Amino acid sequence: MMLCLKVSVPFLLSAMIIGLLVSFFQAITSLQEQTLTFVPKALVVVVVVFILFPWLINTMMDYTVETFNRMSQVGP
15: exposed, middle or buried (Cβ count in 10 Å: 0-12, 13-18, 19+): middle
Q: 8 near 45, Cβ under 8 Å?
A: no
- The better pLDDT of the pair 32, 2 is held by 2
pLDDT category at 76 given cuts 50, 70, 90 is: low
pLDDT digits (tens, 9 = 90+) for 5-43: 999 999 999 999 999 999 898 888 887 777 778 888 999
**Which candidate, 45, 43, 42, places its Cα nearest to that of 9?**
45
pLDDT digits (tens, 9 = 90+) for 42-70: 999 999 999 999 999 999 999 999 999 99
State the CB neighbour count (10 A cutoff) for residue 37.
16
pLDDT at residue 61, as a whole number? 96
